[in-house]
């Protein structure tokens, strides 16, 4: 077999055979197919698509490129959640210990932020001492101690995806539903979870800007998980405005701890509880997550999880050196607070990174004092910007210029939970 034959087949809108897919993924991982050849194939896939069988074969080939983790030594079922990413999406932080407190194990491999969306590992790393890199044995120890572990994927997990995702990032081939779905699901299936809940975000702050494209991605991923023997469901949820009131690493940890203490913004609480219910149902565990938030057992699991990974749950979190308040321009109803604009502002304040190797500022970000639909008065604080370098304020304010509006009546925004997608 050779790469040109495979590229030509997809370029000419043909289906790739299982043998072609197995060969090309394996040869690319070993370095026998060159980056420029894989780029051409990725572009042909982006333009001409893949059918369900091809996507399943592609996903399985990427799983086989590395190790598949196995949690069968544990005495309770495993459940995980994956979000396609959004602004202020800190849900993993309260959710993982909450589900653990309810009786399922949560083995979660997470990522770092790139661009305007934050990464779970960056958020947790704002806790002094907390460690993202664990060996498989350490992961198992943390799971046994705390019921939940959130850490970085090791280099042995779906190495084909690692290489291909970096290539897609620089060749304009990220935005392909077959490639996104197989990339996410190869890692989640290789992670070895027994059940999986997908939170597919919709709106300006998300990968998928419309409900119909988000639904297509959700259906594709649910089918992949189900075919691989992982009980998988998806929720489509709103990302036209930020989630909660805190955007930025340490700010989001603080808000997550409020949720675990029984408070926190209503949208974060609602989504956390709903996702926990879905995870527990998929794992076959009967428990009430709202009660575990109220009675402190989720907070106890959080403290165990942070401590088991070297973190100090009582340590003061980093704070940015400088802050600036943006005021409401006129009285009325806050009709719009755009997720992408707020995410971009937080990124420019230092909360995110432009290149993988850049550091993040843990204290940087945005605190929101009003959300769409709220009555506001001219001059009251709308949001506070936090950064370590005052020179960053101007570009953040630029990002926010068309990002909010005050009017007479609230514009329509998406319901927090738009829909639920299950296997047919
Ligand atoms: N996240 C992933 O892991 N892969 C993609 O292709 C897109 C988002």
- 187 is written with which tokens? 């890692």
Neighbours of 341 (CB within 10 A): 25
Does the Cβ of 368 fall within 6 Å of ligand 1? no
For the chain, residues with pLDDT lower than 70 are 114, 410
Beta strand pairing call for 381-387 and 322-327: antiparallel
Read off the pLDDT of residues 115-158 as tens digits, 9 standing for 90 and up. Answer: 777 899 999 999 999 999 999 999 999 999 999 999 999 889 99
Burial of 17 (0-12, 13-18, 19+ CB in 10 A): middle
Reference 295, options 98, 74, 12; nearest CA is 98
What would the two tokens of residue 413 be?
């925004």
Report the C-alpha gap between 178 and 62 in whole angstroms: 13
Q: Which residues contact 142 (CB under 8 A, 6 or more apart)?
A: 134, 148, 149, 151, 305, 308, 309
- Find how far residue 28's CA is from the centre of its chain: 27
- Atom 6 of ligand 1, residue of closest alpha carbon: 180
* Structure tokens given for 346: 């937080």
Task: Report CA(116)–ligand 1 centroid distance (Å).
Answer: 14
Structural fold of domain 322-407: Aldehyde Oxidoreductase; domain 3 (3.90.1170)
CA distance 104 to 124: 21
Ligand 1 lined by 33 (C-beta under 6 Å): no
pLDDT score for 271: 98
CA atoms within 13 A on the CB side of 410: 12
Q: Which tokens go with 299?
A: 């907070």
Question: What pLDDT is attached to residue 118?
Answer: 80
Instruction: Provide the annotated active-site residues.
Output: 82, 161, 168, 183, 187
Q: Which of 172, 180, 200 for a ligand 1 pocket mutation test, highest count of atoms within 8 Å of Cβ?
A: 180
CA of 75 to the centre of ligand 1 (A): 31
CA dist 361 and 351 (Å) reads 5
Fold of 79-314: Pyrimidine Nucleoside Phosphorylase; Chain A, domain 2 (3.40.1030)
Q: Cβ distance 110 to 212 under 8 Å?
A: no
Q: Residue 206: CB within 6 Å of ligand 1?
A: no
Query: Nearest Cα to 83, choosing from 299, 192, 238, 256?
Result: 238
165 lines ligand 1 (CB under 6 A): yes
- Would you say the CB of residue 114 lies under 6 angstroms from ligand 1? no
Q: Which atom of ligand 1 sits closest to the CA of residue 187?
A: 3
Instruction: Specify the pLDDT at position 410.
Output: 67
Question: Ligand 1 mean position to 179 CA, how many Å?
Answer: 8
Domain positions in the chain: 3-49, 79-314, 322-407
Half-sphere exposure of residue 280: CA atoms within 13 angstroms, side-chain side:
22
Q: Which of 155, 87, 149 is nearest to 124 (CA)?
A: 149
Report how far ligand 1's centroid is from the alpha carbon of 369 (Å): 32
> Which among 359, 344, 253 is positioned nearest to 306, based on CA atoms?
253
* Fold (topology level) of 3-49: 1.20.970
Which residue's CA is minimally distant from atom 5 of ligand 1? 180
| Backbone dihedral angles phi then psi of residue 406, each to the nearest 5 degrees | -115, 130
Residue 43 CA, ligand 1 centroid: distance in Å: 16
Which is the closest atom of ligand 1 to the Cα of 184? 3
Tokens of 155: 């280099």
Residue 70 has which token pair?
Answer: 């196995």
Residue 65 CA to ligand 1 centre (angstroms):
17
Beta carbon of 92 within 6 Å of any ligand 1 atom: no
């Amino acid at each position: 077999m050779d790469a040109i034959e495979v590229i030509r087949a997809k370029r000419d809108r043909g289906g790739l055979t299982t043998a072609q897919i197995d060969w090309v993924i394996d040869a690319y991982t070993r370095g026998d197919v060159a980056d420029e050849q894989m780029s051409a194939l990725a572009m042909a896939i982006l333009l001409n698509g893949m059918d369900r069988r091809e996507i399943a074969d592609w996903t399985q080939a990427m799983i086989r490129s590395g190790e598949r983790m196995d949690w069968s030594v544990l005495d309770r079922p495993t459940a995980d959640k994956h979000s396609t990413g959004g602004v202020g999406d800190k849900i993993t932080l309260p959710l993982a210990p909450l589900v653990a407190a309810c009786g399922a194990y949560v083995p979660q491999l997470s990522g770092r932020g790139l661009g305007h969306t934050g990464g779970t590992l960056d958020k947790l790393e704002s806790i002094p001492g907390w460690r993202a890199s664990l060996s498989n044995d350490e992961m198992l120890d943390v799971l046994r101690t705390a019921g939940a572990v959130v850490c970085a994927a090791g280099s042995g997990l779906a190495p084909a995806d690692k290489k291909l995702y970096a290539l897609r990032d620089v060749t304009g081939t990220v935005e392909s539903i077959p490639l996104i779905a197989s990339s996410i699901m190869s890692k989640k299936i290789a992670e070895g979870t027994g059940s999986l809940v997908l939170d597919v975000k919709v709106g300006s702050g998300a990968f998928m800007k419309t409900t119909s494209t988000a639904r297509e991605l959700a259906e594709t991923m649910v089918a992949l998980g189900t075919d691989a023997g992982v009980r998988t469901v998806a929720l489509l949820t709103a990302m036209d405005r930020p989630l909660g009131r805190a955007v930025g690493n340490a700010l989001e940890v603080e808000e997550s701890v409020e949720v675990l203490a029984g408070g926190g913004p209503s949208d974060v609480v609602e989504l956390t509880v709903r996702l926990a219910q879905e995870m527990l149902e998929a794992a076959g565990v009967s428990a009430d997550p709202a009660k575990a938030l109220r009675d402190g057992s989720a907070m106890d699991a959080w403290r165990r999880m942070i401590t088991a990974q070297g973190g100090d749950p009582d340590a003061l979190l980093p704070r940015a050196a400088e802050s600036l308040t943006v005021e409401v321009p006129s009285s009325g109803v806050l009709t719009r607070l755009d997720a992408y604009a707020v995410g971009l502002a937080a990124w420019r304040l230092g909360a995110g990174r432009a290149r993988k190797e850049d550091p993040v500022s843990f204290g940087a970000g945005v605190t929101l004092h009003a959300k769409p639909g709220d009555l506001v008065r001219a001059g009251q604080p709308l949001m506070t910007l936090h950064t370590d370098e005052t020179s960053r304020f101007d570009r953040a304010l630029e990002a926010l210029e068309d990002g909010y509006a005050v009017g007479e009546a609230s514009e329509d925004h998406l319901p927090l939970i738009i829909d639920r997608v299950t296997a047919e």
